[in-house]
Structure 1
Amino acid sequence: MYGKRKLEYGVVGSSSFGAAPVFRRPRFSSRMRSAGVLPNYVDFGEYDCVCEYCGACFWFVERSLKVSRTHHPRYGHCCKSGDVILHYPSFPPEYVAIFHSDCFLRDIRAYNSMFGMTSFGANVDEEINDGHSPYVFKVSGQISYKIGSFYPDPTKGPRFLQLYLFDADNEVSNWLIAFPNRRRNDFDANIVTFLITFLKANNEYTIVFCSFV
């Protein structure tokens, strides 16, 4: 639950910086525990206190009491008050643009399956999905991953792993052709080109298979 945290048997007040919260922790005897009396969930207020050094989020009651003031809480469980410096990893701008584009997010599952090297094989039971509950993926029997033949079918063109091995000059169109006609217009060729380039530069399996071309 947002803004709440489990604590042993206590009550706190407001977590605003204007007034320090009052915290009382009564004793909870073994006799009360054996009688089935359970500890309460207590409200710590908003989860809106931020470490001034690393940006980690805390509740007000998690502050370091020895060095904190009511209007200036300080925290040491994250970076030890700035002693530990954590550098954020660099993130290329083109990745941000691609992964946040509407076209990519709309068809993210299709883009993911587009570059699969094998096909998933299983006996999927759809009878359990009657429309009255969230979708359930139920498999009956053994799960397999189909590799297929080394050479593509001339009437169908390359599929799955074959796409990494044949006809590198037309690889973008080959990846799009692998999908049904009704779906091809939904994909952005620029995104497909970018993903192919990314895989060739960073994915070890792709690098190995493309080296055979």
Structure 2
Amino acid sequence: KKYLSSSLKMNDRVSKEGNITRNKVAVPPRKKKKSSVKEWNFGKPTCTCQHCGALFWYEERTRGKGKGPPSFSLCCKQGKVDLPTLKKPPTYLSNLMCKEKGKRSRNYMDNIRVYNSMFAFTSMGGKVDREINNGSGPYVFRMNGQNYHRISTLLPEEGDKPRWAQLYIYDTENEVKNRIDASTSSHNRESIDSHIVLGLKNMLDRENVLAQTFRMARDRFKEGDYHNVSLRLIRKRGGDGRQHNMPSASEVAALIVNDTSENQKGRDIIVHYKDTGPRRISENHPKFMAMQYPLLFPYGEDGFTNKILYRDN
């Protein structure tokens, strides 16, 4: 054992259990120094927000002077914010998330980040260090620089391979292969199940309003009318900003022709036809999270927006 190596001398014998014998006399191992750092365990979250039911640790409570039950503000601001509950995921996705369903479900859960990146409309941003995982240790994800999301043009430049949202529009006859090639490397490609990729593609086409939006642009291009066409992802929402009913594709986006406006911070997302390169999108856009994590938001639901109102009362 490593901690005994400094105790060994010439002619010492070490048993399989790591015990040292010197001149037929057992040598006690060196005692390890006790750590001066005391362990602190919060345990499980045992408190519940009385307004929305979120689970918390007692240490996360609002520091008040009252003697009643603890209150919390990290979830709903003590009842001021009321967000609609998440919808149940589509049946196909629910089955994939249950490892007890079989080999295919286990494959999905083991490679869930890769499958999500295949269908993401935007890039992760920053510079990913791909040289760090060259050993046999656990996977490490390391990114350099600022983390922000970018969206590509509707179609790739000549000679470039499609990526991100372009995969919903360009060469969709070979979409499954294109997605696998764009999101994997040679060493992990064999772990991806093409049947799962096809199933997720069909599910998003059927359920996800963002996927339907980009398919709408694909159909327009198939008609041959694609010069100076842009896709505008609308930021403004009607009502109080809380989305209780899923909007249609026409409410989320619009195809526009000969539009010269730019993608300004906090405004609509403008996805141009070509020649502009990837553009950063605003973190305040309602579709910011749904575009990066389509398998967490399988319907293309809205995320945060700064126009969400407090409760009516």
Q: Relative contact order (alpha carbons < 8 A, sep ≥ 6): 1 or 2 greater?
A: 2
After TM superposition, the score normalised by the length of structure 1 is 0.47
After TM superposition, the score normalised by the length of structure 2 is 0.33
